[in-house]
Structure 1
Amino acid sequence: MKDPIFEGEAAITGIGTSIPPNRLEQHEVFQRIEESCQTDEHVMRWARRIFRQCGVDTRYTCEPDFLAEAGTCRYMPGEDGRLVPTTSERMELYRKESVPLALKAAEEALADARLDPAAVTHLITVSCTGQFLPGLDARLVHELGLSLRVNRIPLIFQGCSAGLKAIQLAKSIVESDATHVVLVVCVELCTIHFQPPSSREALFGASFFGDGASACIVRSVSNGEEHMFRLGKGQSVLIPGSEAEMTWKVGDQGFDLFLSPAIPKLLRTFLREEVQHLLDGRTLPHLWAIHPGGRGIVDAVQDMFALDDSQVFFSREVLRRYGNLSSATILFVLKQMRENLILHGENQAHGISLAFGPGLTAELLAFSYAANTEMLEVSGKDAAYV
């Protein structure tokens, strides 16, 4: 018998990711900030601390201007009176750059699932870093060759947890009708909202957010599937009294982000109970796909559940190589996890995925990995889970 907590009727059967071409080295970003803030030692003390502790080595950006010297980069203006880009300028950059990134990730997910685009019945697009109409969903329909009757569902401005929320929504859609096939596409251009580094809040955004896109195919489990993540029980929780701990507002010069340093501490107050509720008394699984919203968040989850370093490796590695990609990040983590399971010839394993966003909101989803559909037949009987 299958375990309904970990093994539902829907599965992720294809994953794709993409990043823009402009690579940001953390020491170079810090150097530019230092050059633009030479007269403000208070800001520089925070910058040194944040960049040293954030757990990021490299990130990627769609904005080549970030590769320019501090004196010429519009996002880090010097004393020559140059204006920081307006919100409308940033939204135009988003409109131009988001579609190619999203398209590449979607194409990779379709190819990975060996799926004809015409088979997609539902398209869920996710983003919190930009908007335009006709939107990303409409552009993808035409660019990918999806049916003009595909059911389009945009999830807009919901923050880092929205990627896992979209997967849970896709799961519900597939479980309502086994013929439904859902394409989830997340794209975030976080760096276009870089603010002049004049405060601790602005430095958080400058230190660990990057750009990227991810996509996945969610459909009913069927014979012939390989290397799938079968989606189990999921839940969402809104934490009372935490509304001010993570905010994301539209300003005149981009979106203004605030992240409280108390977030890891808040996670410790409620997350254990939520995980216990999700698992309904079962032992903790081996696989942990944690959204790396920052090093402190991964640290908190690891300490809380006494996880070893291998269990949080993929979250830390994605953070180190790409930074926090907001909603797109969780599929980067799942993709790296799946590649490792394939590399080591694992047949099956149980897991849990966690993501956090404004609210504070926590999304939790239990899942199981299966190398092929034959492994599903022994699940819950004599299977030895990793």
Structure 2
Amino acid sequence: MQPNSPAPGLYITGLGSQYPPYLLRSEDLDQLAARLHDVSSPGIQKLLRVNRSTGIETRSAVKPYEAGFATQTDPSSITEIDQFFRQAGVDLAIRACQKALTEARVSPQQITHTIAVTCTNQGNPGYDFHVARELNLPPHVDRMLLHGVGCAGGLSILRAAAQIAGGASLRRKPARILAFACELCTPNVRHYLSMAECSTDTDQVNIAAALFSDAAAAFVLCNEYATAQDEKVTPQFELLEWCCDLVPDTAEHMTFYADIDGYRASLDRDIPKYIKSAIRPMFERLLPSYDEQFKSRSTAEGQLLSPLGICDFDWALHPGGRAIIDGVAEVLQLSEDQLQTSREIYRTRGNSSSASVLIVLDRLRSKSKKAHVVATSFGPGLAIEMALLRRCQMNM
């Protein structure tokens, strides 16, 4: 492409999400703690109080608390958690990918790249290798596995896919990218309970056991060279703008490290405050370019449109917690309709880390008629990811 030429066309042509079959209620964690731990300890009491106040009615889980890791005398080791992910996590990711491929009308042999993310597995070869093999993707497929981005990961892989697809467009080559996220958080609950029981400082009690759940999500992103070749492809979203940023001096506010008995997480109570302050400036930075690109396409179709604003967008907000959702709604003056899907996912399934924002984006398609969507997520760093998309298929 020459300087000042139009940006490459980037299209999400298929989306898929997959929850495991079990749902955990808040009282299930109470019962698990009572069965295996000293519920009179200050740390356990603090965790269970938080558990009853999250606003989450049910969390998705790969196992109920009456089976598997929840029935062992001791918490699962990091080795056991790793082995379990390589079976249950891979299977969950495969099902999400199959849904995305089916909707995109793309065969496994047509996939040119894969981009995966997880924070709940660290093995080598990565879990993306096993997913690609089970899906019968070509052995020469270009694979990428992201790590270290936590809950921001769903949009991190969207950003990486956009950059790769744009690079392929510069070379006038088709790109059909299968991107997926998978997290198994509940196998780590026993470790969190044990840590809470031993804690002498209730301010340091990790509340992750009350928030996190299990899920996988996937999408297929194609550039304009791929969609031109595939007559049956029906784009769902066009990706027009994206960016990432770090909130200064917040690196220790959200962490997730491997420990001998599982993963050790930390979540600072000030996270909602920092996210509230970061989201509006990021959106306002992206909006003019998005508006210009959208207008240029609409003008070519003979439409005359007013400038876009916050009220014109649905928000696929990562459901990281009720304080985060409420805080973003307040600072941006969003309506309940604009955050309806994020709230529903949080209430009924909890926070599935990197997969959550993609699940919200997937479900949003059947919930609203707005033509524009902001997707935003955040993770360790504190890192903020944002993408602005135009809906191609409207459910009127």
Letter in 1 for 2:216: A
Q: Does 1:175 align with 2:166?
A: yes
Q: Does 1:17 align with 2:39?
A: no
* Equivalent residues in 2 for 1:1-386, closer than 5 Å: 9-40=9-40, 42-64=42-64, 66-68=65-67, 73-74=71-72, 82-178=73-169, 179-194=174-189, 195-197=191-193, 198=196, 199=199, 203-221=206-224, 222=227, 225-226=233-234, 228-280=236-288, 282-284=308-310, 285-341=312-368, 346=369, 349-371=371-393
CA separation of 1:317/1:273 partners in 2, compared to 1, >3 Å: closer, same or farther? same
CA distance in 2, matches of 1:249, 1:187: 17
1:379 maps to what in 2? none
CA separation of 1:268/1:140 partners in 2, compared to 1, >3 Å: closer, same or farther? closer
Deviation of 1:68 (Å): 5.0
The C-alpha deviation readout for 1:279-314, integer Å capped at 9, x for no partner, is 138521321000011111111111110011111111
SS at match of 2:393: strand
SS at match of 1:118: helix
Assess if the C-alpha contact under 8 Å between 1:26 and 1:58 holds in 2.
yes
Give 4+ residue runs of structure 1 displaced > 3 Å after superposition.
34-39, 199-203, 221-227
Letter in 2 for 1:185: F
**RMSD value over aligned CA atoms?**
2.5
CA separation of 1:119/1:69 partners in 2, compared to 1, >3 Å: closer, same or farther? closer
CA distance in 1, matches of 2:242, 2:333: 22
SS at match of 2:105: coil
CA distance in 2, matches of 1:56, 1:337: 19
SS at match of 2:149: coil
Assess if the C-alpha contact under 8 Å between 1:21 and 1:62 holds in 2.
yes
CA distance in 1, matches of 2:113, 2:359: 22
Letter in 2 for 1:73: T
Deviation of 1:31 (Å): 2.9
Deviation of 1:134 (Å): 2.7
CA distance in 1, matches of 2:220, 2:130: 18
Gaps of at least 5 residues in structure 1 are 75-81, 376-385
Give the alignment's TM-score, normalised by structure 1. Answer: 0.85
Deviation of 1:226 (Å): 3.6
Assess if the C-alpha contact under 8 Å between 1:189 and 1:210 holds in 2.
yes
Assess if the C-alpha contact under 8 Å between 1:50 and 1:203 holds in 2.
no
The C-alpha deviation readout for 1:153-189, integer Å capped at 9, x for no partner, is 0112320001101011111222222401100011111
SS at match of 1:53: coil
CA separation of 1:298/1:39 partners in 2, compared to 1, >3 Å: closer, same or farther? closer
Letter in 2 for 1:61: A
Deviation of 1:118 (Å): 0.8
Assess if the C-alpha contact under 8 Å between 2:206 and 2:265 holds in 1.
no
After TM superposition, the structure 1 stretch with the greater mean CA deviation from structure 2, 221-230 or 249-258, is 221-230
SS at match of 2:179: strand
Deviation of 1:357 (Å): 0.2
Letter in 2 for 1:214: A
CA distance in 2, matches of 1:83, 1:37: 11
Assess if the C-alpha contact under 8 Å between 1:30 and 1:47 holds in 2.
no
1:79 maps to what in 2? none
Deviation of 1:251 (Å): 0.8
Deviation of 1:340 (Å): 2.3
Assess if the C-alpha contact under 8 Å between 2:247 and 2:274 holds in 1.
no
Fraction of identical pairs, as percent: 30
Gaps of at least 5 residues in structure 2 are 292-307
